[in-house]
Amino acid sequence: MIGEKSREHGVDPLLVHSIIHVESRYNPYALSHKGAEGLMQLMPQTARSLGVRSGFDVRQNVSGGVKYLKQMLEKFDDLRLALAAYNAGPEAVVRWNGIPPYAETQDYVYKVGKRYGELRRQHNSSQVALTPVIQAEESEPEFRPLEARVDDEGRLHLKTR
């Protein structure tokens, strides 16, 4: 689904995986102290503006999150600024004319960037689980679906099919 939504909006799925890793560690029920919900930690007001009715619905959350990320990438045309806007809001990036001086946002941009670099290196060198299994006609990769389940103790378990 992440690959599907990423292709739909023209966003690198490895970037989306990086954001989800940093935002929620793949916990679809994650809730931040500020009220951000789900895998991609959408604020309820932002989620509604993106057509997301339930921030905890995995498909809706990823769809809305990828759409919002694409908007930030187009608005700022710079990955670091787009990530800062995803975290702190585009108004803050405009107000500060760059990455805002908030420790949380600066840390977020660093962590997502680091994770993204790691995934890209792994993808290019060792063909990790996110590696294309079948090449689509447009030469866009197909990615193995990710299965998730939460056990009785609330732990999230992920595996590829």
Active site residue 23: yes
Report the length, in residues, of the chain. 161
Give the helix/strand (H/E) hosting 156.
strand 156-160
| CA–CA gap between residue 1 and residue 58 (Å, rounded) | 9
Neighbour count for residue 77 (Cβ, 10 Å)? 9
Instruction: Name the catalytic one among 4, 8, 23, 137.
Output: 23
Which residue matches tokens 């977020």?
Answer: 108
Which of 112, 120, 86, 146 shows the shortest CA–CA distance to 19? 112
- CB count within 10 Å of CB 87 equals 25
Q: How far is CA 140 from the centre of its chain?
A: 19
CA dist 121 and 116 (Å) reads: 9
To which residue do tokens 């866009």 refer?
140
Which residues are part of the catalytic machinery? 23
